[in-house]
Chain A
Amino acid sequence: SAVISQKPSRDICQRGTSLTIQCQVDSQVTMMFWYRQQPGQSLTLIATANQGSEATYESGFVIDKFPISRPNLTFSTLTVSNMSPEDSSIYLCSVEDQLAGPYEQYFGPGTRLTVT
């Protein structure tokens, strides 16, 4: 299965600042996904990132707040902009690993963000 790493693993940030989270995969994948998990909650999809095209955002998430880059088939970044305490969450990237099996999705270890 795909091996996914994320940086940073955790961070504490000041209100009003921005943080960029990196996601690296050990194999080429077509689609990468970014999820948010608020404290004690389930996972919610933020956006889907395809290489070479604009990310597709889910309802309630906008590009100005969560800009995403996808420069190649193994890497993506998610920026959380102008942060507020409500952005305190775990942010996870995931990929669909079709070599492992159709429709099987694998997750990175997550980035635990606290905004003060």
Chain B
Amino acid sequence: GIQVEQSPPDLILQEGANSTLRCNFSDSVNNLQWFHQNPWGQLINLFYIPSGTKQNGRLSATTVATERYSLLYISSSQTTDSGVYFCAYYNYGQNFVFGPGTRLSVLP
């Protein structure tokens, strides 16, 4: 199957800092999504982004499908941004395959 790598695995930021999370794929993927899992375990959809760039408030995402990567940008980070960020691609077995995640801690 397609391998998914996320970097960095762990990230500690001071509140207000910016960060970039990366997701690499070993082959072309379709229908990429970014999720945030908050400290209580709830998974929240951030972006459905098969290609191009999207922005939602302080977060934005870019997928370059031809180069097999996606980036998630977090600007002016807040403590509520803490948690684990997953990218996932759509497997045409009709389920999503998740990357290993980036664990983000934002310190006040």
- Given A43-B43, A44-B98, 13 other A-B residues pairs in contact with their CB atoms under 8 A: A31-B94, A33-B95, A37-B41, A42-B86, A42-B98, A90-B41, A103-B30, A103-B31, A103-B90, A104-B45, A104-B48, A107-B42, A112-B41
Tally A-B pairs: CB < 8 A: 52
CB-nearest residue of chain A to B92: A103
Q: Is A68 an interface residue (CB 8 A)?
A: no
Which positions in A face B, CB cutoff 8 Å?
A: 1, 31, 33, 37, 41-45, 48, 90, 92, 94, 96, 101-107, 109-110, 112
Q: How many residues of B contact A (CB 8 A)?
A: 22
A109 near B48: Cβ-Cβ < 8 Å: no
The B interface is mostly helix, strand or loop, or mixed, namely: strand
Q: A80 vs B69: C-alpha distance in the bound complex, in angstroms?
A: 36
